Amino acid sequence: MSDIPFSNQITEQNIAFTLEINYMPYAMSVIISRAIPEMDGLKPAHRKLLYTMYKMGLLNGNRIKSADVVGQTMRLNPHGDQAIYETLVRLTRGNDALLHPFIDSKGNFGKVYSRDMAYAASRYTEVKLTAICSELFKDIDKNTVDMIDNYNNSMKEPLLFPTTFPNLLVTPNQGIAVGMASTACSFNLKEVCEATIAYIKEKNCDFLTYLKAPDFSTGGQLLYNADELKTIYATGRGSFKVRAKYLYDSKQNCIEITEIPYTTTIETIIDKIIMLIKSGKLRDINDVRDETDLNGLRVTLDLKRGANPDLLMYKLYEMTPLCDSFNCNFNFLVAGRPHTMGIAKILTEWIAFRSECIKRQVAFDVQKKNAQAHLLDGLAIILLDIDKAIAIIRATEQDSQVIPNLMTGFEIDKIQAEFIAEIKLRNLNKEHILSRIKEIENLKKEIAELNNLLSSEKKIEGLIVKQLKEIAKKYGKPRRTEIVYEEEKPEYDELIEDYGIKLFLTQHNYFKKITLASLRSASEQYLKDGDEIAQELETTNKSDILFFSNNQNVYKVKAHELSECKASGMGEFLTNTLGLQDGEKIVFIAATTDYDGDIIFAFVNGKIAKISMDLYSTKANRKKLVNAYSDKSKLVYASHIRVNTDFIAIRDKDKALLFNTDLLPLSSSKNATGTQVMTLRKNSKLTALIQADKYVSDNAEYYRTEKLPTGGHFISEIERIKNGLKDINRIQNSHIRPFD
């Protein structure tokens, strides 16, 4: 333990200064040397690995063990063999992560679309470079790029690759640095080359004409949105959607998913589908399984009989990663500084980078050819007197004086003299020397052409265009990701089969959806012992069903999402289907396709509310709405009406009132308490509400009123009997639930 008091061990520091000194170097290292791609479209880890393989002769040689490559790469990348091997795996053809893999592989390298398919250890797999890598290393030995020391100064490595095509748009990349990130999608190589050529020729070209949309190694279907792509192309930021491709096997009644979005995995998709099946949100799937094999990706969904495969896939697109968004952030390093760039800016910077590479390569060639021409100039001088050259060499006593004597005798420089001195004796004949001198003219012509190229930006751009055309022809591939335009996408409603159905709600909270065709051939309805039908409703398979509960909630369900039932079946238990709370019960159902009309709610306290059906329509796909009607008094009756209708209100067992719903004001909120319709005595209550055409009476108009509220008129004994109003308990039990 230190004898220095604890208080004296603390040193106060300015937090901003500490962060700048201690954290900023780390942040900059991550940004520049690890996470963000540069103008050649590669991160440092990729570059170190590929350059090592290039120096190992793997561009043209046979495959070697991955472990050997990993070990050699550690001379440039000291971050450990596992990190290097993971980098190698992603660049391989076997992993399927890239449209144009840089590494030709043999063995198991996993799959980019599988989370659980692990790659084999490096000692079992073999690799070499693919042919397209020759475009990455084009003239790299001709001073095209800067070479820097590796981490221990034991060897040199390139700062960038002189790639001959805009690889940063062809190879997908994702990196998370400190305070910034980069996410670049891949584009089709042929389209990228064509777009670059068009941009070189016309700076105001429309990129959407050439660079149609991103392209991914996993295929799928890209939902084309011109505005989204224009934003991405202009700013380097934005998102687009990619969805899976599938086939329907009618014989096996199953869906086979063969391509998925680049951003997800088959395990994630299967887990989500299983969760939806267990929660009851997907009812048309019997089984889901992964059948991926050597032939490629395949996820199979076994369907229930009668399921609509297109409609089911539409739901899966909405509810699972089978349709996923790709968020673009084209953040690249330019001269060591991060920039978020649109396509035009990216190509501008790449063209400038590529032009500089060509200039350096041409300058290197000019220097070499000038040196060669200089040597041949010395050889031409010797041609004037070969015998003199031989005599000088023969007369020189010391070996060290040969070069100086030749320089003096022919007035040539040291380099030329050394070249002449090294000529073999057999080559000192006139014919050989003349043939070599003839090369001077060709060399000078080549040097002039190279100098012309070096001084002309136009010619350099022409050379870039020529190389891009050759690359597009040699390495171009058809698109893997299919483009689906808006007009080709079927609307959701178009996928739903429309036919007549009848809905049944029972007292014990059971529900049946039966097709009218099935109902015509059916016998009586099968119900649970002691249960009885509370409401019947005819509608279509495209309607929305609204389930109103005694807890003032409404549950909205699409009719086509509900399972069909036979008259001989018991139906669905709504407590489970809708996820009702303990003690919650459905008391009324309504069906609509357009949310037209009103709902009438009658309460024990004599008030009736008229609520517009439109208040239950929501833009978001909400399944549950609270405060669906007032809780101030007990609900007696509810009904969905499309036009104003005559109703008869019953007070206790003795009085009736006929009125038209036109007298009721339209409430502005769902849980409005309503308008007082009947005046009630102490301890009396509104017992029932009956549609006028269902009330049996010789003179129903006797009960009509044009003003609310009112007490109504007494009902005769005969009418009470005819309408089942004799027993007050029966009245309450039969009318507290709705009916048509």
Query: Catalytic residue positions?
Result: 124
The per-residue b/e assignment along 665-700, b for 16 or more CB within 10 angstroms, e otherwise, is eebeebbbbbbebbebeeebbbbbbbbbeebebeeb
Among candidates 41, 352, 346, which has minimal Cα distance to 211?
Answer: 346
Structure tokens at 661: 């719903």
62 backbone dihedrals φ, ψ, rounded to 5°: -85, 165
DSSP assignment of 627-658: --S--SS-EEEEEEESS--EEEEEETTTEEEE
Three-class SS of residue 137? coil
Q: Which helix (H) or strand (E) holds 141?
A: none
| Positive or negative: CA dihedral 44, 49, 55, 58 | negative
DSSP summary character for residue 164: S
Residue 701 Cα distances to 643, 668, 713, angstroms: 20, 31, 11
From the number of C-beta atoms within 10 Å of its C-beta (0-12, 13-18, 19+), residue 330 rates as: buried
Pairing of strands 126-129, 544-549: unpaired
Among candidates 157, 158, 164, 140, which has minimal Cα distance to 353?
Answer: 164
Which residue bears the tokens 């011109």?
Answer: 226
Which residue bears the tokens 């640095």?
Answer: 177
Structure tokens at 276: 């939806």
Q: Half-sphere exposure (CA, 13 Å, Cβ side) for 591?
A: 20
Q: How far apart are CA 687 and CA 733, in angstroms?
A: 10
Q: How far apart are CA 588 and CA 535, in angstroms?
A: 7
Q: Cβ atoms within 10 A of the Cβ of 414, count? A: 11
